[in-house]
Amino acid sequence: MLLAEPTMRSPRRFFEIGLVATAVLWGVSAALRDAWTCDDAYIVFRYAKNLVDGFGLVFNAGERVEGFTDLLWVLWTTPAFILGIAPETWTNAWGIACYGGAIALLGFDHLRLVRRVPSPAWTVLPVAALAAAAHGDWNAWATSGLETSAFTFLLVAGYVLLVGTLEPGRALAAGLVFGLATLLRPDGVLPALVGGVFVLAMTRAVKPAAAFAAGFTTLWLPAAAFRLSYYGSLVPNTYWAKSANLAWWKQGFRYLGLYFEKYGVLALGPVLLLLVALRWRREDAARREVEGAGFVAGPEGSAADVTVLVGARITETDRSPFDDPFWYGGFGTWHRPFAYSRFGRPFGGPGWRRGYWGSGYDSPYYAREVAVLIRDKRSGEPLYEARAESEGATTGVYSVLPAMFAAALKDFPSGAASNPHRVTIEAPSQQ
């Protein structure tokens, strides 16, 4: 049997594409309206022109000083002088193209995510793409003649690659994209580092992480070697001119504060990222067990026999001592002082907390439930449905969920028993 992510070939899909196209046109038109060229761009233009004229990557002939921070953008600007196109026109056109590309990537990636499972109609609204189109600063810096828009496009492309299935080939492509971003701006090393940690944390496998690192270093190492041999330094001259090894933490926090004064809602980003990561972990726990039941994941748009819907719910509670009829300690604990229970200290002793006495009581109690529903893709008829429940003080969320999905699929394909019954599944020690 073939398991594929649900896709829609209907007027709704054309509507979705229309929403993304609207966001792209909105952003591009705003960027065209506000197009401008920054004075710093003319530094790039001079380096590019001197390179075309045979003087090398220099600002003044014979002086090897790296007075730019965007090596790849300088090289990308050279065709303008070869083709006789004004560099302002060339760089701004590519900046707008990268801006439109970033919006499109955000939009279509959103649609890919919402098509994975049946979703309410309103979820097709490409919020990230529309927000990018409406972002005033993103509009303004889509042009400027500098590398900002291209750098942002590559970061978005790297993100889109990372949120897919992290096979080694995809991780390699993500590493190459972040490597290109680092050639556009040296601080691209920071998002590349985050991307590498993300790959390692999400896969916990050597091959995808090694593939990501290989893709990144394939581009970063030659550029670093060129800088060192041609300019005699791994960092641009602007680093020494503006910082000279002095840490301007106060100024940095000032810039950060000004940004969040304007875009305070983005401060929720790390929290949302954590929630998304947790959801991915739970979906991954279900996917392994579904594939273990004989299903094969099909690519988007492929014909499928069935669709599989999974869900999980975890409730954590602090157990009251009075949940235990022998809360004073129970049989076999009378050798302790009376009223000195396994939940804490004697009555009135130090360490009162949470409304009870003592330094603490039993571990938090977890009630877990998972559900699996398999439907015929063509008719929508349910073929198999089962739930699994588990209660206890086990704290390892991700070590328990795979076993619970395995328990829910224990009776597949013969059909789940109509009455609740106990199933024993050995949970892996680590996940």
Q: What is the per-residue pLDDT across 182-219, written as a single tens digit (0 to 9) for each?
A: 999 999 999 999 999 999 988 888 999 999 999 999 99
Flag the least confident range among 67-76, 134-143, 232-241.
232-241
Going 397 to 398 to 399 to 400, the CA torsion angle's sign is positive
212 and 116 within one domain: yes
130-185 pLDDT, tens digit per residue, is 999 999 999 999 999 999 999 999 999 999 999 877 889 999 999 999 999 999 99
Domain hosting residue 220, numbered range: 2-246
168 and 308 co-located in one domain: no
233/200 same-domain check: yes
Question: Are 413 and 275 within one domain?
Answer: yes
Q: Within this chain, do residues 221 and 280 fall inside the same structural domain, yes or no? A: no
268 vs 37 pLDDT, higher one = 37
349 inside domain: no
pLDDT above 90: residue 45: yes
State the DSSP code for 364: P
CA 407 from centre of chain: 30
* Separation between Cα atoms, residue 374 and residue 1, nearest integer Å: 11
Which residue would you say has higher pLDDT here, 428 or 161? 161
Write b or e for each residue in 358-392: b if 16 or more Cβ atoms lie within 10 A of its Cβ, otherwise e.
Answer: beebeeebbebbbbbbbbebeeeeebbebebebee
- Alpha helix positions (H), 115-248: 127-134, 136-140, 148-162, 168-184, 189-203, 206-230, 237-242
pLDDT above 50 (res 93): yes
Q: Are residues 122 and 12 in the same domain?
A: yes
The most distant pair of C-alpha atoms in the chain lies apart, rounded to whole Å, by 95
Q: Which of 210, 231, 246 is the last residue of a domain?
A: 246
3-class secondary-structure state, position 259: helix
Cβ neighbour number for residue 224 with a 10 Å cutoff? 16
Residues 315 and 385 in one domain: yes
Domain shared by 13 and 112, yes or no: yes
Does 209 or 298 have the greater pLDDT score?
209
User: What's the CA gap between 416 and 194, in Å, rounded?
Assistant: 43
Task: Note whether 121 and 256 are same-domain residues.
Answer: no
Q: Total structural domains in the chain? A: 2
Residue 172 located in a structural domain: yes
Spell out the residues 6+ positions from residue 137 whose beta carbon is closer than 8 angstroms to its own.
Answer: 262
Residue 414 DSSP class: T
Same domain, 93 and 183: yes
pLDDT at residue 44 is higher than 70: yes
84 plus 224 within the same structural domain: yes
Q: Does residue 338 form part of some domain?
A: no
Q: What is the CATH number of the domain that holds 386?
A: 3.30.160
60 within domain boundaries: yes
Domain finish residue from 216, 246, 276: 246
pLDDT value of residue 74:
97
333 pLDDT band (50/70/90 cuts)?
A: very low
pLDDT attached to residue 151: 98
Domain end, chosen from 246, 276, 301, is at 246
CB 213 within 8 A of CB 173: no
Q: What is the mean pLDDT of the chain?
A: 80
For residue 100, the tally of other CB atoms under 10 A from its CB is: 22
232 and 284 belong to one structural domain: no
Give the SS3 label for residue 144.
strand
